[in-house]
Amino acid sequence: MRLTKNVKQVIILLAFVFPAILFYFVFVLAPTFGGVWYSLTNWNGLNPTYNLVGFSNYIEALTDDPYFLDSIWFTLKYVIFMVVLANFIAILLAVLIETQKRGKVWFRTIFFMPNMISLIIGGFMWMFIFTKVLPYIAENTIFHFLDQSWIGDTRFSFYTILILSLWSGVGYLMVIYIAALQGVPQQMKEAAAIDGANGIQTFLNVTLPMIYPALTIGLFVTLNNSFKVFEAVYALTGGGPGRATQVIALNIYEEAFMMSSRYGYASAKAMILFMIVFIVTLIQLWIMKRREVEA
Amino acid sequence: MSNQGMNTGLIGRRAGSALIFLFLSIGTVLTLFPIYMGLLNSVKTQSEMLTSILSFPTDFQFANYSSAFIKINFMKSLWNTIQIAAVGLVGIIVFGSLAGYKLSRTKGKLSALLFGLFIFSTLIPFHSLMITLVKVTQELHIQGSIYGLGLIYIGLGVSLAIFLYHGFVKSIPNDLDEAAVIDGCGEFKLFYSVIVPLLHPVTATIAILNLLWIWNDFLLPLLILTDSDQYTLLLSTNMLFGEYSNDWSNILASLVLAMLPIITFYLFLQKYILNGIADGAVKG
C-alpha cells in the first residue's frame, strides 16, 4: 500500500515535470553534452564523418591560437572595467535618486530606459553618435578632441564598447540597488546623522553594509554577463579593426559560423568559456559562503 | 548659536540637494542623447543631416519612415517577433509553473535531483551550447521556423521560471492542497483551480522578464532563422544596416521604428516592469 502510494507520487511528479524536462533536455542539456563530445573531435560541419582527437582542440586553442588568447584577455579587461564601473555608477545613481522627492520616478524611468532597447539597436544609435555626431561637434565647436576614430582606432574602440555597455546595463543594476536601499530603515540613517555622521560616513557605515546582499547580486550579474558579452561588440565594431576588439563569444561565433566551420574546434573554445564562467561562479559562491559564516 | 547652526545646515542641505538634482539631470541628458539624436535626424534629409546634425529639422521628412517601414518589412517583422514571443512565453509559463509547483511540493531525492538539474543550466553560457543547438534544430527540421524558435526559447527559459515558481509556492500553505484533496479534487484540477490563481504575482514577473529577453534577443534568431520573411524586428534592422550602411536617415528611421513597440510597452507599464526586474533579480 505504502509502496504504491510512493510510486503514484513519483508518477504524478514526473507527469508535472515531463514537458519542462523534455524541452530542457532537447534544447539545453543535449546541446551542452553534445558540445562536450564534439569538442573532442575534428567534426567540421560539412563532412559527415569525424574522428576523436582527444584534447588537441583544447591544446590548439590555448597555445596556438593568438586571436583566441587575445579575445580572452580583451574580455577579461572588459569584465574588470564593467564590474567596477557599472556597479559604482549604479550605486551612485541609486543613492542620489533616493535623496530626491519629486523627480524620483522620472529619473528612475529614464535611467532604466536604455535597458529596454536591444543592444543591437542601441549599438547602431551609438555608432551614429561616434561616427557622425561627435566629429560634427569637434568640427563646429571648441571640443576638437572629440574628433577621433572612435570605432576604427583600437585605443578608443574599447572605451566606445564600454560606454555602450554601461549606457545599456547600468539602469538594470540601479533598479536592484534602489530596491535594496528602500529596505534600509530610515531610523538607522537618522540615528547616524544625530550621532554626527555626515552623508558619506552614513553611507559607508550604515547604508552600504545593509545593501551587501544586493551588491553580491549586482557583482554576480555583471560578472556573468560581461564574460558573455557579444552584441555590444557585434553592433559597434564587429570585433574590428582587424580582430582587435574581438571577445570570446564573438571568436566562437566566427570560428563556427563565419570562418572555417570547424565545429569541433569551436566547441572546444565554447567549453573553455563554460569553464571560465563555471570557475568564476564557484569562487563567487565560496566567497559568499565565507561572508555568511562571518556575518 | 544653535539656531544659526541649524540655518547653515539647512542651506547646505538645500544646496547639496540642488547639486544632486543638477548631476542627475546631466545624467538624464547623456542617457537620452543618443535616442534624441536618432529621433532628430531621422526626419532630416541626408544633406541637412550632414550640415546641421544638432539643430532642429527645418522640414520634416517622413519619407524616411515610409521607406524604412517597407525596407524592414515592419508589419511582418513585428508579427514574427510577437508570434515567437507568444509561443515562448506560453510554454515557459505553463510548463514552468507545472514543474515548479510540483517540485516544490514533493520531498525526496528525485525531486531535489530534478530541481538541481534545472538550476545547473544557469551556469551554462548560451555560447557554449549554440553550435550543437544549431545541429539539433537541423536534425529536428525546425531550423528556419519561427514556431521552432519559440520552442527553443521554452527550453532555454523554463529553468528560471521553475526556480521562481519553486520559491513562490513555498509561501503558499500546504493546507490548501490538502483541503482540496479531501474535497475530492484531482491533482491537475487542484493545480489549475486552486494554485494557478495564487501564482499571478510571480507569473507577471516571469512574463515580463521573458518577454524582454525574447524580444531583445539577437543571436539565437540570427542562427535559427534563414529566410528574411521570418526575420524579427532586430534581424530586419540588422540586415538594413548591413545593406545601407551609410544612409543614416533611413537607418535612424528604422531604428526608431524597431524600438517603438518596446518603448511604448515600457512607458505604459514601467511600474510593473521595474518591480518585475527587481523581484526577478533578487530571487533569481
The residue among B254 and B247 whose pLDDT is bigger is: B254
A52 to chain B, closest Cα gap in Å: 16
Q: Please report the pLDDT score of residue B157 as a whole number.
A: 94
State how far the alpha carbon of A85 is from the alpha carbons of A174, A202, A215, B86, B198, in Å: 12, 22, 13, 36, 40
Chain B residue numbers with beta carbons less than 8 Å from the beta carbon of A233 are none
Grid coordinates given for B281: 533579480
**pLDDT tens by residue, B32-54:** 999 999 898 888 888 788 787 78
Instruction: Outline where chain A has alpha helix (H).
Output: 2-24, 30-38, 56-63, 66-99, 104-116, 119-128, 134-140, 154-181, 186-194, 199-202, 208-210, 212-227, 231-236, 248-253, 263-294
**pLDDT tens by residue, A249-286:** 999 998 888 877 788 889 999 999 999 999 988 888 78
What's the CA gap between B250 and B256, in Å, rounded?
Answer: 10
State how far the alpha carbon of A229 is from the alpha carbons of A31, A43, A107, A162, A249, in Å: 21, 26, 27, 11, 7
Q: Which residue of A has its CA nearest to B22?
A: A96
Q: Please report the pLDDT score of residue B2 as a whole number.
A: 45
pLDDT of residue B1 exceeding 50 = no
Chain B residue numbers with beta carbons less than 8 Å from the beta carbon of A124 are 237, 241, 251, 255
pLDDT of residue A92 exceeding 90 = yes
- Rg of chain B (C-alpha set): 25
pLDDT of residue B279 exceeding 90 = no
Chain A residue numbers with beta carbons less than 8 Å from the beta carbon of B216 are 116-119
In chain A, the domains with their CATH numbers are: 1-39 (no CATH), 55-294 (1.10.3720.10)
**pLDDT tens by residue, B153-210:** 999 999 999 999 999 998 888 888 888 888 877 888 888 888 889 999 999 999 999 9
pLDDT band of residue B271 (cuts 50, 70, 90) is confident
pTM: 0.90
Mean pLDDT of A80-86: 96
A155 to chain B, closest Cα gap in Å: 22
Q: Please report the pLDDT score of residue B283 as a whole number.
A: 64
B63 to chain A, closest Cα gap in Å: 20
pLDDT of residue A160 exceeding 80 = yes
Q: What is the mean pLDDT of chain A?
A: 87
Q: Would you put residue B45 in left (φ > 0), alpha (ψ -120 to 50) or beta? A: beta
**pLDDT tens by residue, B200-252:** 999 999 999 999 999 999 999 999 998 888 999 999 999 988 888 778 888 99
Q: Please report the pLDDT score of residue B173 as a whole number.
A: 87
pLDDT band of residue A8 (cuts 50, 70, 90) is confident
**CB spacing of A270 vs B251 below 8 angstroms:** no
Helix (H, G, I), strand (E, B) or coil at A43: coil
Q: Which of residues 206-225 of A touch B (CB under 8 A)?
A: 214, 217, 221
Range with the poorest average pLDDT among A62-71, A178-187, B122-131: A178-187
ipTM: 0.89
By residue count, chain A amounts to 295
**CB spacing of B266 vs A113 below 8 angstroms:** yes
Give strand pairing partners of A104.
none
**CB spacing of A133 vs B37 below 8 angstroms:** yes
Mean pLDDT of B103-120: 90
Mutual angle of helices A30-38 and A263-294, in 10-degree steps: 120
Return the H-helix or E-strand segment holding B18.
helix B2-42
| Whether A120 contacts chain B with CB within 8 A | yes
Q: Please report the pLDDT score of residue A257 as a whole number.
A: 87
Q: What is the mean pLDDT of chain B?
A: 87
Grid coordinates given for A279: 570557475
**pLDDT tens by residue, A18-34:** 999 999 999 999 999 99
pLDDT of residue B130 exceeding 60 = yes
Q: Which residue of B has its CA nearest to A89?
A: B27
